[in-house]
């Protein structure tokens, strides 16, 4: 019996801009430009970010103000609409629920699994809580246990667990270093190309 196909996508860098880069550009703090495309260890990256936020006294509201100015990447909404017409879809992201809302609204509210920030009474981000450790990979594993055939696409080192575990995987605009490390993974540079890769797996 054929398994139902489900698509798992990363959010930032695939459907929407990188939030931390946008905040770095707004504040001029270049150290905040570092993302999962540069740092494979997510906890190291988040401790780095939290330290910089504390050093400069940045609040959650200041980050949310920048997020409110962002728009989805060109072509991503049309891509999602076409994708959802044919496939089940889950967004698996290492972003935070306090960040994602305005961008999800612009994408017509796809299902998102992500993490939570801990914020004190003065609006300072004090820590973060993972939904579960290695949540992208584990979500794929559980979908497979439910007899789904998983197609996954992402752009960064933190997507590798999801990509390696999925039945089919595709890079979307990865850094050259990542694509070079995994030459067998197909690469899409535009959303129509990504959609074509996914649809080819159904033919």
Active-site residues, by number, are 10, 12
d(CA 54, CA 131): 23
């Amino acid at each position: 019996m054929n398994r139902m196909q489900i698509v798992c996508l990363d959010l930032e860098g695939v459907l929407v801009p990188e939030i931390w880069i946008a905040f770095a550009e707004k504040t001029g703090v270049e150290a905040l430009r570092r993302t999962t495309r540069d740092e494979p260890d997510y906890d190291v990256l988040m401790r780095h970010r939290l330290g910089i936020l504390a050093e400069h006294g940045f609040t959650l509201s200041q980050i949310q103000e920048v997020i409110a100015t962002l728009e989805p990447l060109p072509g991503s909404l049309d891509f999602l609409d076409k994708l959802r017409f044919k496939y089940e879809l889950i967004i698996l992201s290492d972003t935070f629920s306090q960040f994602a809302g305005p961008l999800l609204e612009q994408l017509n509210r796809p299902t998102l699994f992500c993490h939570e920030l801990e914020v004190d009474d003065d609006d300072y981000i004090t820590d973060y809580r993972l939904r579960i450790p290695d949540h992208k990979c584990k979500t794929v594993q559980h979908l497979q246990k439910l007899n789904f055939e998983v197609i996954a696409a992402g752009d960064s080192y933190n997507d590798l667990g999801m990509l390696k575990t999925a039945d089919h995987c595709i890079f979307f605009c990865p850094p050259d270093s990542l694509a070079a490390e995994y030459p067998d993974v197909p690469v899409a540079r535009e959303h129509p190309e990504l959609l074509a890769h996914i649809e080819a797996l159904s033919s």
